[in-house]
Amino acid sequence: MSYTPSEIEAKWQKQWEEEQAFEPSDSHTHPKKYILSMFPFPSGRLHMGHVRNYAIGDALARYYRKQQFNVLHPIGWDAFGMPAENAAIKHGRHPKDWTYSNIDYMRKELNTLGLSFSKTREFATCDPLYTKHEQKFIIEMFEKGLLYRESTTVNWCESCHTVLANEQVEEGCCWRCDNPVELKEMPGYYLDIIRYADELLEDLAQLEGKWPSQVITMQRNWIGKSQGLAFDFELTEESKAKFGGKFDRYEVFTTRPDTIYGVTYSALAPEHPITKYLVEHNLLEDEVAQKIKAIANMSEVERAKQDKEGYPLGISVIHPLTGEQIPVWTANFVLASYGGGAVMAVPAHDERDFEFATTYNLPIKRVIEGGEALPYTGNGTLIDSGRFSCVENDEAKTAIINYMEEEGKGKGTTNYKLRNWGVSRQRYWGAPIPFVHCEDCGLVPEKFENLPVALPDDVEITGEGNPLENHPTWKQCKCPKCGGEALRETDTLDTFVQSSWYQFRYATNPKKWEEVGIDKADADYWLGVDQYIGGIEHAILHLLYARFFTKVLRDLGYHDVDEPFERLLTQGMVLKDGAKMSKSKGNTVDPDALVAKYGADTARLFILFAAPPQKELEWNDSAVDGAFRFIKKLYDRKSKVAGSTLPDIDHSALGKESKLARVKVYEALQKSTEVYEKSFAFNTLIAACMEALNALDKQDDGDVWTEGMYIMLNLLEPIIPHVATELSETLFARENFGGKIEVKEEVFVQESILYVVMIGGKKRTQIEVDPSASEEEILALAKEAGQKWLQGMQIVKEIVVPNKLVNLAVKPS
């Protein structure tokens, strides 16, 4: 019978479904593996990136299940978000309806791929039951002071009509729609991720070697910890007078306290309170005030593109160490959002300060020796630095901080680039932020027993404004505290909040889902995720937020896990014609069509064979044919199998070709452990199996065939589960799936060993050597075989690499 994937795949998918074959055991004592591919957004259809993601995860889940581990391999839906609302605007469909029907369709698509997901743990993050527990966490975070509401300057995307977190701004544009982001002052909810910045940074060390190094580096840079000195510049008496007592000093931060004697001016952000005061109280020339306002209206990205620009503010400060008067400027390169929006400027040793000083003819004072030209930002000895002259600048950093602290003039301080996570979105299709605004009580969390604060179904989604805000009655409510009239918060949570804790939700036994968000015993047993698989685009966003949430939930007592994802694999993109597959480019390959034509096994085999999982994968239609051919051939060779169990084979009695076939089979077996547990180079394992099958084909020993198929089907089951299970069932009653198969070392023992003979570093010939031969004997054989290249040569060195080669270094005699 020839290979008919449609029949075989339907048969096994049905059987797995009936057997509930992939449900984890409730036991907490059995060794476990938690294999997780990032859950999909229910966009409507699966794409090849999904297929790749789940093929990798499924291979690992199936491998560990076969090694008798208790395996959790769940799937769910990251179901809130803008596209659902966009669909509502475009096609008039309700986001809920759009989302859940997409889920139904995509679930079917996943089923046809034969993925071994737990069915009982599936959920969508828009399920009210999920929202209920999430809202409880949010309230608990509020009570711990981790969540707060504040009005500040935010990133605003006009096209999405919502606020964006810092992490969601890419090169000044919205991560979702690519519109330029504007700055806007408005109230919002923030999670104090900076409180965890140090732990998030330090714990990266335990992920070393288990996460891709570039992801670790990206997170480290994003957190951006820097240590330095914070100190106050006191205004001169004359300057103080201008502010009517409102300001007499301001704080600056520097990572280069060693250059403090080189300060020749100070610069404030246009948004700095002092700058603002001067502008608003008409203490500057009209023209200057206008220019400052113009800068303030520019986004940070726009400013970065401009030349250095600034204006003197007509005030001065006193240098804390020299007592000199220092002029104060406002400048477009000083960021309001970092280090207090004020800097000390040292043009001699800072590129920006230098550029600015050159533009405006401000003095430049060198205080560190080294380099010829200024600015010089390297190390060296301090000069012209009072009591610190002649000190190396590295030492001077701490010495100056210590001195400033002793004198009560400043203190050592840590700053982070990381900003607190703004989690409120002015959108409908999200989890409502469970707070109420009461005139008497202020901001009040909803009572736990009233959760979830559910979304109203009857909304009008037009794309104009926030549908919850516009709803006629939804926001009218009673204050949970005083019972008076109050207004419900209409902002919803960022969707990244849902994906920050879903790994704990899967781990929680579904029987407890109603009652608890996370079950502690379940979480402590299953987490961290042993292998997490997903796209590198989440290197900062999702992976940082999920790490943060894990630590917060730990501190709220929900579990004892420090890091959610023990090991991380970032898969490469699927490309066609050198570009990322996308509808707009018209270069997509539809997974459904592929499965219909070749079957799921071929799709999975091709995807894992075409490239190592970390790399980009270039689509190739004829290589898909090749994958199909291999499966067909494998299926066809079932007729060669002579027995129904692993045979005992007398290796020495076999012919040369059969011996070689066994070597190839056992080499593949040996390789499999490393591939499934460490390198994930499925392409090399598949290649090893192809070599084994090619070698088996060159001989005709029934037992060798039996052994070969027995082993190969075991190795390939995680990759091509349907056909491997079908063949194993008919040939071996699936006995070959019973556990780890032992490597028979005697197969690798050779009667003679091939040595390459190199002369002068070049491969010349080869010799067959008895395994028991001594080094002298090997060398003698090599010299004899290489005689013609040794003519007129003198051997200067002899190297024998055991079981590999002989190298004779020569020179003309």
Stretch that binds RNA, among 282-290, 473-481, 537-545, 555-563 (CB under 7 A): 537-545
- Mask of contacts with RNA, 233-262, x by CB under 7 A? --------------------xxxx------
Q: Which residue has the tokens 């990322």?
A: 580
Helix, strand, coil: what percent of the chain each, to 5?
Answer: 45, 20, 35
Q: Which of residues 475-514 bind RNA (CB under 7 A)?
A: none
Euclidean distance between CA atoms 32 and 68, whole angstroms: 9
Token readout for 183 is 């700055």
Among 63, 502, 549, 630, binds RNA (CB under 7 A): 630
In the complex with RNA, the residue whose CB is nearer, 133 or 397, is 397
750 binds RNA (CB under 7 A): no
Sole window of 117-125, 368-376, 755-763, 773-781 interacting with RNA (rule: CB under 7 A): 755-763
Q: Which of 626, 637, 673, 743 binds RNA (CB under 7 A)?
A: 626
Binding test (CB under 7 A) with RNA, winner from 536, 600, 663, 711 = 536
CB-based contacts of 287, cutoff 8 Å, min separation 6: none
**Range 341-380, binding RNA (CB under 7 A):** 341, 343-344, 350, 352
Q: What torsion do the CA atoms of 360, 365, 367, 369 make, to the nearest 10 degrees?
A: 90
Of the candidates 107, 240, 633, 734, which one interacts with RNA according to CB under 7 A?
A: 633
Residue 678: exposure state from Cβ atoms within 10 A (0-12, 13-18, ≥19) = exposed
- Give the chain's radius of gyration (CA, Å): 34
556 binds RNA (CB under 7 A): no
Q: How far is the CB of 490 from RNA (least distance, A)?
A: 29
Q: Which residues 150-169 are close enough to bind RNA by CB under 7 A? A: none
CA–CA separation, 508 and 503 (whole Å): 9
Could you give the string, one character per residue 178-217, with x where binding to RNA holds by CB under 7 A and - elsewhere? Answer: -----------------------------------xx--x
Give the contacts of 86 (CB within 8 A, at least 6 positions apart): none
Q: Which stretch binds RNA (CB under 7 A): 222-230, 242-250, 399-407, 556-564?
A: 222-230
Q: How far apart are CA 618 and CA 577, in angstroms?
A: 7
Least distance CB 440 / RNA (angstroms): 40
For RNA, the closer CB: 175 or 403 = 175
Q: Which is nearer to RNA, 592 or 616 (CB)?
A: 616
Q: In this chain, which stretch among 114-122, 358-366, 370-378, 752-760 interacts with RNA, using CB under 7 A?
A: 752-760
When binding is defined by CB under 7 A, the residue of 760, 773, 793, 795 that contacts RNA is: 760
Angle in degrees, 0-180, between the axes of helices 600-609 and 721-732, rounded to the nearest 10: 110
Closer residue to RNA (CB): 146 or 800: 800
CB of 82 to RNA, least distance (A): 19
Window 672-691: residues binding RNA (CB under 7 A): 681, 683-684, 686-687, 690-691
Options 487, 756, 773, 795; binder of RNA; rule CB under 7 A: 756
Handedness of CA 166, 170, 173, 176 (dihedral sign): negative
CA pair distance 491, 504, nearest whole angstrom: 25
Cα–Cα nearest to 428, from 660, 637, 160, 695: 160
Distances from the Cα of 705 to the Cα of 670, 671, 716, angstroms: 18, 19, 16
Q: Which of 293, 629, 656, 740 binds RNA (CB under 7 A)?
A: 629
CA-to-CA distance for 510 and 731, rounded, in angstroms? 38
Per-position x/- string for 765-784, each x denoting binding to RNA as judged by CB under 7 A, each - no binding: -x------------------
CB 193 within 8 A of CB 548: yes
CB of 303 to RNA, least distance (A): 4
Name the one range near RNA by CB under 7 A: 186-194, 285-293, 627-635, 641-649.
627-635
Binding to RNA (CB under 7 A) within 308-327 occurs at 308
List, in order, residues 6 or more apart from 297 with CB less than 8 Å away. none
How many residues contact RNA, by CB under 7 A? 84
Tell me the closest approach of the beta carbon of residue 479 to RNA, in angstroms.
39
Q: Which of 453, 455, 451 is nearest to 516 (CA)?
A: 451
AA identity, residue 697:
D
Shortest Cβ 311–RNA spacing (Å):
14
Chain residues 381-440 in contact with RNA, contact rule CB under 7 A = 415, 417
Find the binding residues for RNA in span 262-301 (CB under 7 A): 269, 300-301
| Footprint on residues 578-617 left by RNA (CB under 7 A) | 609-612, 615-617
Residue 34 or 598: the one with the smaller Cβ distance to RNA is 598
**Tokens linked to 121:** 């743990």
Among 148, 338, 360, 737, binds RNA (CB under 7 A): 338
Residue corresponding to tokens 């071996």: 732
Give 542-579 as a DSSP string.
HHHHHHHHHHHHHHTTS---S-SBSSEEEEPPEEETTE
Q: Which residues contact 393 (CB under 8 A, 6 or more apart)?
A: 258, 259, 368, 379, 380, 381, 382
Is the Cβ of residue 142 or residue 609 nearer to RNA in the bound state? Answer: 609
Work out which of 35, 191, 334, 661 binds RNA, going by CB under 7 A. Answer: 334
DSSP state letter for 746: G
221 makes contact with RNA (CB under 7 A)? yes
Question: Can residue 792 be called a binding residue for RNA (CB under 7 A)?
Answer: no
Which of 439, 625 has the CB closer to RNA?
Answer: 625
Place of tokens 């965890």: 196
Q: Are 62 and 533 in contact (CB under 8 A)?
A: no
Sequence-ordered list of residues with C-beta below 8 angstroms from that of 773, at least 6 positions apart, any chain: 781
Interface pick for RNA out of 92, 323, 761, 812 (rule CB under 7 A): 761
Neighbours of 712 (CB within 10 A): 26
Q: Determine the Cα–Cα distance for residues 384 and 366; give it in Å rounded to an integer.
A: 8
> Which token pair is 7?
């029949």
Under the criterion CB under 7 A, does residue 631 sit at the interface with RNA? no
> Does position 812 bind RNA by CB under 7 A?
no
Residue 435 corresponds to which tokens in the numbers above?
């707070």
**Span near RNA by CB under 7 A; candidates 81-89, 143-151, 237-245, 756-764:** 756-764
The whole-angstrom separation of Cα 136 and Cα 446 is: 9
618 binds RNA (CB under 7 A): yes
Question: Does 170 contact RNA by CB under 7 A?
Answer: yes
Check whether the bond before 528 is cis (ω within 30° of 0): yes
Write down the least CB distance from residue 334 to RNA, Å.
Answer: 4
